[in-house]
């Protein structure tokens, strides 16, 4: 159990022969690393620091066990409604953070739900523990995505499977996530971080100008496909939020959380 004064986001350098990897960990394990405004800001700051460090060749993003990220903290959302500090200049619409110049590898260690799924989808490569589970519960909670889920999820798994996830709210296990293309690899839980860090080291051992150019080219090509979809999501999300009532989330919160626990077992 993390102490109350522990940082919400842990950052450390993992040294390799070619440089370093920034290992960034969401650190609200008792709340399944659920997102608050403060946590989102801390995550953005940690990623920005890693991006500014030229000796860091890649970033590995994970969560403190037992979850990667359970999405927005429904307890706080139901009472507060949202957080002004989340909407800051410089973060493009449809993104949870300012895109980095270097690759971000998501090491998915457990439940990855709704806003947590959007964090994962914003990574460049996903490696999953065999215990990872994925779900989009926006419809069950009564919210609309705003970090690009309706663009990036179908790009990863196809339109039909994306609709299935979003409209049902059902969990997808790690082998299925691998089969549909959501993740690139599934490994034993105890090997997850070493596998992700090894991949980051492989990236670091390459010509970094070439890595940067390739990553930029991939992202630019992807962005051409996503721009119209992100604009559609932004428009629909804004329209939904204009009549959004946080009390509705509070009313459904216990049922949603109970159903999620049942599906995770």
What does the alpha-carbon distance between residue 257 and residue 239 come to, in Å, rounded to a whole number?
26
Query: Which pLDDT does position 265 carry in this prediction?
Result: 63
Give 129's strand partners. 187
Q: What is the pLDDT of residues 230-242, one digit of tens each?
A: 999 999 999 988 8
pLDDT confidence of 4, banded at 50, 70, 90? low
Q: Which residues contact 218 (CB under 8 A, 6 or more apart)?
A: 124
- pLDDT at position 242: 86
**Measured between alpha carbons, how far apart are the two ends of the chain, in Å?**
21
The reported pLDDT for the residue numbered 257 is: 62
17 has a pLDDT exceeding 80? yes
- The answer for 148, left when phi > 0, alpha when psi is -120 to 50, beta otherwise, is left
DSSP string computed for the chain: ---TTS-SEEEEEEEETTEEEEEEEE--GGGTT-B-HHHHHHHHHHHHHHHH-TTEEEEEEEESTTEEE--B-HHHHHHH---GGGS-TTS-TT-SSPPPSS-EEEEE-SEEETHHHHHHHTSSEEEEETT-EEE--HHHHT----SSHHHHHHHHH-HHHHHHHHHH---EEHHHHHHHTS-SEEE-GGGHHHHHHHHHHHHHTS-HHHHHHHHHHHHHHHHHHHHHHHHHHHHHHHHHHTT--HHHHHHHHHHHHHHHHHHH-
In contact, 95 and 227? CB cutoff 8 Å: no
Q: What is the DSSP string of 51-74?
A: HH-TTEEEEEEEESTTEEE--B-H
pLDDT of the residue at 81: 47
What per-residue confidence (pLDDT) applies to 262? 67
pTM of full prediction above 0.85 = yes
Q: What is the pLDDT of residue 2?
A: 42
Asked whether the predicted pLDDT for residue 223 surpasses 70, the reply is yes
Please name every residue paired with 62 in a beta bridge, in sequence order, or none if there are none: 25
Which residues neighbour 166 within 8 Å (Cβ) at sequence distance 6 or greater?
A: 136, 138, 139, 149, 150, 153
Q: What is the mean pLDDT of residues 101-127?
A: 98
What gap in Å lies between CA 99 and CA 95, rounded to an integer? 8
């Amino acid at each position: 159990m993390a102490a109350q004064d522990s940082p919400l986001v842990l950052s450390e350098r993992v040294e390799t022969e070619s440089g370093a990897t920034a290992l960034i960990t969401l650190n609200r394990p008792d709340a399944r690393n659920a997102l608050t405004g403060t946590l989102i800001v801390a995550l953005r700051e940690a990623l920005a620091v890693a991006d500014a460090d030229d000796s860091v060749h890649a970033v590995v993003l994970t969560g403190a066990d037992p979850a990667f990220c359970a999405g927005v903290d429904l307890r706080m959302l139901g009472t507060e409604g949202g957080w002004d500090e989340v909407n800051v200049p410089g973060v493009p619409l449809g993104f949870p953070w300012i895109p980095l110049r270097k690759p971000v590898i998501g090491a998915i260690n457990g439940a990855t739900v709704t806003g947590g799924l959007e964090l994962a989808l914003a990574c460049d490569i996903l490696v999953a523990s065999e215990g990872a589970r994925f779900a989009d519960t926006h419809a069950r909670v009564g919210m609309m995505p705003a970090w690009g889920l309706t663009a990036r999820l179908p790009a990863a798994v196809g339109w039909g499977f994306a609709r299935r996830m979003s409209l049902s709210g059902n969990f997808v296990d790690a082998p299925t996530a691998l089969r549909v293309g959501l993740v690139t690899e599934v490994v034993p839980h105890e090997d997850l971080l070493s596998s992700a860090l090894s991949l980051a080291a492989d990236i670091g051992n390459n010509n970094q100008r070439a890595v940067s150019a390739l990553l930029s080219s991939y992202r630019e090509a992807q962005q051409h496909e996503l721009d119209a979809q992100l604009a559609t999501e932004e428009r629909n999300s804004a329209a939904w939020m204009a009549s959004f009532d946080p009390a509705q989330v509070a009313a459904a919160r216990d049922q949603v959380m109970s159903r999620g626990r049942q599906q995770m077992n």
